[in-house]
Structure 1
Amino acid sequence: MVGIPETFVRTTVEREGEPGRAWVAHLPSLVDELLQTWNCTPSGPVGHGGVGIVVPVRSAGGAAVLKVSFPHPGNVHEPDAFAMWGGRGAARLHRRDDARFAMLLERAGAGTLAEHGDVEEAVAVAGLLARRLAVPAPPGLPRLRDLAPEWEAGLRRDAGRLPRPLPRCVVEAALATVRELGRDQPETLVHGDLHFGNVLRAEREPWLAIDPKGYAGDPAYDALTLVRSRFEDLLAADDLEAAVLRRLAVFADAAGVDRERVRRWVQARAVMAAHWGRAHDDPAWLLAITDRVAELLVR
């Protein structure tokens, strides 16, 4: 049986409680069953992200990875997104077992876009990937527009109950975006978590996206995760507002989306992230920069 990293076991149990404990206890045998079913042989150490493990394997088609995720609603549509892209800008999906939240995927390289020396170029790479991934969404994916009422209610609720509230005008700007853009979105496949760590170096293409959430909505929605990647570069900027706006402009132009929509989505999602961070004890420095971004982007 393959060994499951202790860090992954601990964080899964801490986050999921007894269901997580039961799942990780069964995980080694589940992995063995999948390896046998898909005729794969482990070929490297087991890695992991926040919610799943990745086992490098050799299969009949060559090098691949077996990914098994904790069963959670947020992981349901990952294989749907991979299947729709068919390897265009993203890792290829070879096999899937939706009931067990498992996939056999193309193996990409070890490096990520987070290691790129030029942040602006990294943002442009992610934007170009977002443009390629923006294909018509298949039926059955969650629609971001359906979340707009929940977002609006959450913004109003959190603004009144959380400590150190953001200025009222900042929250009102986010509410306006949710009302005006949130309910009217295109039927486009959106990655949903396109940060630098979810873009891997590869051989078939220079860069491949992994770990999609699989939503249907506005491609401009994905910009916040790129602003929140490599925050240290923004903190070191002489002019934070200019640096943030430049990053948004580079993404928008590369992705082929409207700069104003990108600004508004990032501002609204920064407010939501700031609220979430207060409720979940984000580090003070992260709260401070998220607050600042939300404030700077009000127009």
Structure 2
Amino acid sequence: MISPDSNLYKNIVTTWKTPGEQWLAQFPTHIKKIEALWNLEPIQPIDNLSFHFVGATKRRSDGLEVVIKTGCDIESLDRERQWLRHFNGVAAQVLESDKNLGVTMMERLVPGTTLKHSKQLDDDAQTLIIAEMIRELNSRSIISGAFKHLAELAKDLDVLEGAVDPRMLSKARGIFSELTFDRSQDRLLHGDLHHDNILKHKHSWKVIDPHGYIGDPTFEMAVMMYNPLDAYPVNRPLRKTLERRMSILNEYINFDMQRMKAWAFAAAMISTAWDYGDTKKLLGIPFLVAQELRS
């Protein structure tokens, strides 16, 4: 069911190496166990999978359409399940889970159109929806759990030593140090909130695929400044889009402009580091965004 030529297969092997290969080898049996566990119809993979398997199916008992998510990184999937349950209502609803199998069954969002593909909405309207989502998420109290703090991401910058302007690297490290020092206002964050992770469900919007970090609430806006990589208006320069998005967020949820700019730069540098670690190349939108925000 997972083709060796697919991005999912390659990403699993690259990221988790031997454990990933072992998980892939037993995948057909794994899926059969999940189908039997919850009496499901055959699970069909959805398109454009990246690091985890996600499939659609129905419960035989009542015909309810559901989504199955599973993968070899059981701990991260369990953190995701905790996060989704904490934010029930604004996030896709968790119906069942089994930590031993590393699988979660969720409601299927209908029609499930991503914010990126909602072509009737311009960039301003999409940014307002994200702003409302951030405000709702930040209104929830922090919970205990095995969630990483944003400060732990700073070490991922090390791979960029010698590859980028040292002033950019120093600036990114300084931002992480400064903006994670006072943790009195920390919240549980989605950590990967962008246009592809917000889906239409009936008459509302719901979030999916949280990374789950503890940290400064302002960080929640950072990822949507560079991701997804193909969600920028084509009729204005990148810098103007970044400035416009931050202006809307400042007006709607009162995030400080300088703090937003700092986190957007630092997050883009982290994404650049992840890309560089995989490819040894400084290519792509995250690095361009970092360059735009470096001053």
Aligned partners of 2:46 and 2:55 also within 8 Å: yes
Aligned: 1:94 with 2:99? no
Taking structure 1 as reference, are residues 294 and 27 closer, same or farther at Cα in structure 2, changes over 3 Å only? same
Q: Which aligned pairs between 1:1-299 and structure 2 lie closer than 5 A?
A: 3-6=1-4, 7=6, 8-42=8-42, 45-47=44-46, 49-59=49-59, 60=61, 62-71=64-73, 73-86=75-88, 88-108=89-109, 109-117=111-119, 118-134=122-138, 135-147=140-152, 151=154, 155=157, 157-158=158-159, 161-163=161-163, 165-166=164-165, 168=167, 170-185=168-183, 186-203=185-202, 205-232=203-230, 234=232, 236-255=234-253, 257-281=255-279, 285-286=283-284, 289-298=285-294
After superposing on structure 2, the runs of 4+ consecutive aligned residues of structure 1 that deviate more than 6 Å are none
Deviations 1:32-55 (A, max 9, x none): 21222222223x632262122222
User: How far off its partner does 1:84 sit?
Assistant: 0.5
Count residues in correspondence.
285
Aligned partners of 1:253 and 1:259 also within 8 Å: no
Aligned partners of 1:131 and 1:256 also within 8 Å: no
Q: State the alpha-carbon separation in 2 of the partners of residues 213 and 4 from structure 1.
A: 23
Matched position secondary structure for 2:188: strand
Aligned partners of 2:150 and 2:213 also within 8 Å: no
More helix by share: 1
Q: State the alpha-carbon separation in 1 of the partners of residues 238 and 2 from structure 2.
A: 42
Q: State the alpha-carbon separation in 2 of the partners of residues 145 and 277 from structure 1.
A: 18
Amino acid at match of 1:198: N
Q: State the alpha-carbon separation in 2 of the partners of residues 215 and 258 from structure 1.
A: 20
Aligned partners of 2:74 and 2:99 also within 8 Å: no
Aligned partners of 1:76 and 1:101 also within 8 Å: yes
Amino acid at match of 1:105: M
Structure 1 gaps, min length 5: none
Q: State the alpha-carbon separation in 2 of the partners of residues 119 and 282 from structure 1.
A: 32
Q: State the alpha-carbon separation in 2 of the partners of residues 162 and 74 from structure 1.
A: 31
Q: Tell me how large the CA RMSD over aligned residues is.
A: 2.7
Aligned partners of 2:96 and 2:105 also within 8 Å: yes
Stretch deviating more after TM superposition (246-255 or 186-195): 246-255
Stretch deviating more after TM superposition (22-31 or 53-62): 53-62
Taking structure 1 as reference, are residues 33 and 250 closer, same or farther at Cα in structure 2, changes over 3 Å only? same
The normalised TM-score by structure 1 is: 0.82
Taking structure 1 as reference, are residues 297 and 26 closer, same or farther at Cα in structure 2, changes over 3 Å only? same
Q: State the alpha-carbon separation in 2 of the partners of residues 260 and 20 from structure 1.
A: 41
User: How far off its partner does 1:187 sit?
Assistant: 3.4
Aligned partners of 1:141 and 1:214 also within 8 Å: no
The normalised TM-score by structure 2 is: 0.83
Aligned partners of 1:162 and 1:279 also within 8 Å: no
Taking structure 1 as reference, are residues 18 and 231 closer, same or farther at Cα in structure 2, changes over 3 Å only? closer
